[in-house]
Structure 1
Amino acid sequence: MNQTTHPDLANLDGFRVEIDAARERADIVLDRAPMNTISMPQRDQLRKAFEALDEDDRVRVIVLRAMGEHFSSGGYIRGFLEASPEHVSKLAWNIAAPARCAKPVIVANRGYTFGVGFEISLACDFRIVSETCQYALPEQKLGQIPGSGGSARLQKIVGITRTKDIVMRSRRIPGRQAYDWGLATECVADADLESATDKLVDELRAFSPIAQRTAKKLLNDTEDASLSIAIELEGHCYSRLRQSDDFREGVEAFHAKRPPKFKGS
């Protein structure tokens, strides 16, 4: 496991970046004991980290995780009063960085996953939660609302009724319930969180990189589209992939009854 030397990833505030080139994996690791509070400067650094890893040819899959028993208790509260209105207006853009990544992003959540910790998790593609995980958007207790895309993303996933229940009551949602509501991809025992994450990384690495990127962008771009437009865009994406080396390799491997060797072209 190697620390990255990218110039945008020096002197990181409250987290670190690790790259395992042999496994084509990069980890963004929240590491500010004991609650992994996310500072204002850290939000912009997290955006830059995702952007740098998205451009790194050694990396196929990005994992967001945290040290300790809690993913994150949320943002540094006093920082909201100290930040300029211009800075605050960029919060949602920074925290949406995982969704903008062309590569698949997995987040592993355990313990408190509150506020911006929950919001950045909602921007990831796959949320693996342990049974200790508690999701919450507690901003109402501060006389505020979520400001980094939390209520908007949440409503897309679970609907307005459950979103009002979570946002307007600052209600905590346990990991098992989050899975039942479709918020989490998988819910596992706390001791199994890392192994479940590892397993998903290796599963995703086995697919064609170009097909993965295409699927993610298509799904993100058509989330608000009508059915007819979504089908039309899907057809265009399918047609482009039809010309790819990976699709030819996939077909040939299927008929030869052998594992495909995808190259991402």
Structure 2
Amino acid sequence: MNTTTPEQFLDNEFDGFTVEVDTARERADIILGRPPYNVIAMSQRETLRQVFEALDAHPGVRVIVLRAQGEHFSSGGDIKGFLEASPEHVSKLAWNVAAPERCTKPVISANRGYTFGVGFELSLACDFRIASETTRYALPEQNLGQIPGSGGSARLQKMIGIARTKHMVMRAKRVTGQQAYDWGFVTECVPDAELESTVDALVDELRRFSPLAQRTAKKLINDNEDAPLKVAIEMEGHCYSRLRSSADFKEGVEAFHGKRPAVFRGE
């Protein structure tokens, strides 16, 4: 029986990235670390999944940030690794890349420079994408005689529609951070020097809210992505009803009437 705690697992050294946990700020950072281009190795995807799951279970973490060393987020995956991996292994890559989406806690992706291939797909699986003006998003797989294989085209089409997705996927076109913001798949686009401070501010903003309400909202929105409107509205009502009896909701109401900051405990 494996008795390793999330904290113990996260103390390991990881190939291609590092993990920083700051319990005082209730924040964890996953930092891609193969500069200058932060290429993501095939084996790294499975380990990243395990790290997201460990951080999800970590009691001292409220918000997770995915970022990178240097001037580029990631130029994508290790091309040679695709030729060496079995078809069965490759078919599971999308499950690993979807780890930020499955995580119950808010996940922010901080992008600058090249954000290509699997680096882009990982970012698309996060809840918030903050781009600097240097960011270039791309799914360049057509140049290799391939297509995105870890949810890139599928998630992008949900966000920006079929025409723009074909423009990016079938023509392997690069999109700037500002254009990504204009198209609606980026939360904010800021000057490069302001990327870290913008992410810091978002982390602190998210920490102010009820952890229970945040988890509920994330799951509800994700689950309703493909639901008919009638079903989505009904599910929203059920979730609202359950939160109605929570201690956090009681605290929020009392804090509102008392004109004081709420102290949420996730209960």
In which range does the TM-score fall when normalised by the shorter chain?
Answer: over 0.9
Contact 1:9 1:45 in 2 (8 A): no
> Residue 77 of structure 1 is aligned with which of 76, 79, 84?
79
In percent, how many aligned pairs have the same letter? 73
Distance 1:33 1:177 in 2: 25
Q: 1:18 aligns with which of 17, 20, 29?
A: 20
Match of 2:50 in 1: 48
Q: Corresponding residue for 1:241?
A: 243
**What residue is the counterpart of 2:119 in the other structure?**
117
Which of 54, 59, 62 is equivalent to 2:61? 59
Q: Deviations over 1:173-225 (max 9, x none)?
A: 00000000001000000000000000000000000000000000000000000
Q: Retained in 2: the 8 A contact 1:6–1:52?
A: no
Q: Secondary structure at 1:16's aligned position in 2?
A: strand
**Equivalent in the alignment of 2:3:** none
Q: How does 1:28-177 map to 2 (within 5 A)?
A: 28-177=30-179
Offset, 1:152:
0.2
Aligned length: 262
User: Structure 2 unaligned runs (5+)?
Assistant: 1-5
Any runs of at least 4 consecutive aligned residues in structure 1 with deviations exceeding 3 A, and if so which? Answer: none
Measure the CA separation in 1 of the matches of 2:9 and 2:236. Answer: 37
Q: Which residue type is aligned with residue 139 of structure 2?
A: L
Aligned counterparts of 2:13 and 2:56: Cα–Cα separation in 1: 20
Unpaired runs of 5+ residues, structure 1, are none
Aligned residue for 1:207?
209
Q: Post-superposition shift, 1:10?
A: 2.2
Taking a change above 3 Å as real, the CA distance of residues 253 and 238 of structure 1, as seen in their structure-2 partners, is same
Larger mean Cα displacement after TM superposition, 179-188 or 6-15:
6-15
Give the drift of 1:13.
Answer: 1.1
Would the aligned equivalents of 2:168 and 2:174 in 1 still touch at CA under 8 Å? yes
Q: Which TM-score applies when normalising by structure 2?
A: 0.97
Name the SS for the 1:223 alignment partner: helix
